[in-house]
């Protein structure tokens, strides 16, 4: 009889108290998840004693990896003073000042507790400011777990409709039809089609939400021409251009928006700005942010939150972002480019049809010769998803490397060339081991095109 692992035994306990045995589907893996014991820098050790290099960094949230000493020391000091008050705190003000100095489009800011909440508040603020109810978002984009933000997040060939008029597809069963009716879907990076779609309901759109490097779409940056066209459309039609930079704020010192000549009216933030703790934020134009202002006689958007701007998160986030200065951003992005170059070499050596997309300190691999340019091109068939899972399992079980389940890596500042070499050597082994299955996908794709 095979002895059960510690993780298997713990999971059987978890199934009796947690729905599905987990609180986050992203940590589940068949037949049961592994459980972390300790983590430091870019390494995690599970309760079986296996150490792995972490290229997931808690879904892009840990810019300095695990247990970053300056953050830990600052948080311990704050813990002795208290964790949350029904009073404001000095660190909240100091951190707001730091972020506003960092990004040109930030005039005012509000802190919340997650990226999902930040996007939700950004949508509500847009509606409050414009007096309109509808929003527009790109097909396939992930903007958290708010009903309106979820629409068409996982649209597929059976329901996504015509490319000239993509369907608004709800994610969760039981989502009210009214939600889909208030969300307009457009194809990312397609100027002509997007403007035509927006024009049809121009007087009803409160905001157009853009993720500058949308992970679920394919992790390809928004073209400058596309972003500028959307910005100009919002100016003509009294709408707002809002950015979701929950993931992409790591791309540059001032976020991915630093790459564009136009600036969003509002931006939602999360992940790295929490220094390893739950966080979200909405920042942008002072006149738009006034919808939150309790001084207003006609307060358009009353908004609070028990743990919003709690001093522990503010302390951790401020310290993390202080260390993610221009020098650190440049070094990390350079290391990422080295990783991508070495991955291309591994692809050539293994002779497999794989391409890489990304920006800043993040990249995603696709099982196709040419990098996809749209959500529909990047969409994974059931067969492709199966091979991607096998590649991820190979990396996890044989190379001791943890990646994000879309075959994506999010790097941290504590990584070195050693970890990059381990990653690329591991990928070479994985590509060679699964080459027959990857090659078969290429043949199937070519037949479908014919």
Question: Would residue 231 show up in a list of annotated catalytic residues for this protein?
Answer: no
Give dist(CA 263, CA 258) in Å, integer: 8
Check residue 449 and give left, alpha or beta (phi > 0: left; psi -120 to 50: alpha).
alpha
Give dist(CA 119, CA 282) in Å, integer: 8
Spell out the alpha helix ranges (H) of 213-325: 224-236, 286-289, 311-323
Q: Are 388 and 343 in contact (CB under 8 A)?
A: no
207: DSSP letter: E
**Parallel, antiparallel, or unpaired for β 205-210 and 134-138?**
parallel
Give dist(CA 345, CA 428) in Å, integer: 9
Separation of first and last alpha carbons in the chain = 52
357 bridge partner residues: 364
Give dist(CA 221, CA 188) in Å, integer: 10
Give dist(CA 449, CA 263) in Å, integer: 39
Question: Would residue 244 show up in a list of annotated catalytic residues for this protein?
Answer: yes
The one catalytic residue in 244, 265, 318, 379 is: 244
Q: Are 244 and 269 in contact (CB under 8 A)?
A: no
* Residues contacting 47, CB < 8 A, separation 6+: 6, 7, 10, 34, 35, 36, 37
Encode burial over 286-311: b for 16+ CB neighbours within 10 A, e otherwise: eebbbbbeeeeeeebbebeeeebbbb
Question: Would residue 271 show up in a list of annotated catalytic residues for this protein?
Answer: yes
The one catalytic residue in 271, 303, 319, 379 is: 271
CA 190 to chain centre: 21
Q: Are 332 and 361 in contact (CB under 8 A)?
A: yes
The one catalytic residue in 32, 95, 142, 188 is: 142
Q: Are 182 and 169 in contact (CB under 8 A)?
A: no
State the CB neighbour count (10 A cutoff) for residue 46. Answer: 19
Q: Which residues are catalytic?
A: 142, 244, 271
């Amino acid at each position: 009889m095979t002895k059960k692992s510690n993780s298997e035994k713990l999971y059987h306990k978890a199934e009796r108290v947690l729905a599905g045995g987990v609180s986050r589907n992203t940590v589940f893996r068949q037949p049961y998840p592994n459980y972390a014991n300790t983590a430091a820098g870019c390494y995690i050790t599970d309760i079986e004693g296996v150490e792995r290099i972490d290229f997931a960094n808690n879904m892009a949230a840990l810019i300095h990896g695990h247990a970053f000493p300056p953050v830990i020391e600052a948080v311990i000091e704050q813990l002795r003073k208290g964790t949350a008050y029904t009073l404001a705190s000095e660190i909240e003000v100091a951190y707001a000042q730091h972020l506003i100095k960092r990004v040109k489009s930030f005039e005012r800011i509000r802190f919340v507790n997650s990226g999902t909440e930040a996007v939700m508040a950004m949508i509500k603020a847009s509606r409050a400011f414009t007096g309109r109810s509808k929003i527009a978002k790109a097909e396939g984009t992930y903007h958290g777990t708010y009903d309106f933000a979820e629409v068409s997040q996982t649209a597929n060939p059976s329901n996504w409709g015509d490319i000239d008029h993509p369907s608004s597809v709800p994610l969760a069963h039981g989502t009210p039809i009214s939600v889909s009716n208030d969300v307009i879907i457009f194809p990312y990076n397609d100027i002509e089609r997007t403007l035509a779609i927006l024009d049809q309901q121009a007087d009803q759109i409160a905001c157009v939400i853009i993720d500058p490097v949308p992970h679920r779409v394919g992790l390809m940056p928004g073209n400058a021409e596309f972003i500028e066209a959307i910005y100009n459309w919002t100016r003509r039609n009294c709408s707002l251009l809002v950015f979701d930079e929950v993931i992409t704020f790591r791309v540059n010192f001032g976020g991915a928006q630093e790459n564009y000549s136009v600036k969003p009216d509002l931006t939602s933030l999360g992940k790295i700005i929490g220094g390893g703790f739950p966080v979200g934020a909405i920042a942008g134009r002072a006149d738009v942010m006034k919808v939150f202002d309790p001084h207003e006689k006609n307060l358009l958007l009353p908004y609070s939150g028990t743990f919003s701007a709690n001093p522990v998160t503010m302390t951790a986030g401020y310290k993390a972002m202080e260390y993610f200065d221009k020098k650190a951003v440049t070094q990390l992005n350079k290391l990422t480019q080295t990783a991508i170059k070495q991955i291309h070499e591994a692809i050539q050596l293994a002779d497999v049809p794989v391409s890489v997309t990304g920006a800043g300190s993040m990249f995603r691999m696709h099982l196709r010769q040419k990098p996809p340019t749209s959500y529909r091109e990047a969409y994974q068939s059931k067969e492709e998803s199966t091979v991607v899972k096998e590649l991820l399992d190979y990396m996890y079980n044989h190379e001791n490397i943890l990646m994000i389940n879309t075959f994506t890596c999010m790097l941290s500042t504590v990584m070195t060339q050693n970890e990059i070499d381990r990653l690329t050597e591991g990928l070479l082994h994985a590509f060679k081991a699964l080459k027959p299955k990857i090659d078969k996908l290429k043949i199937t794709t070519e037949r479908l095109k014919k």
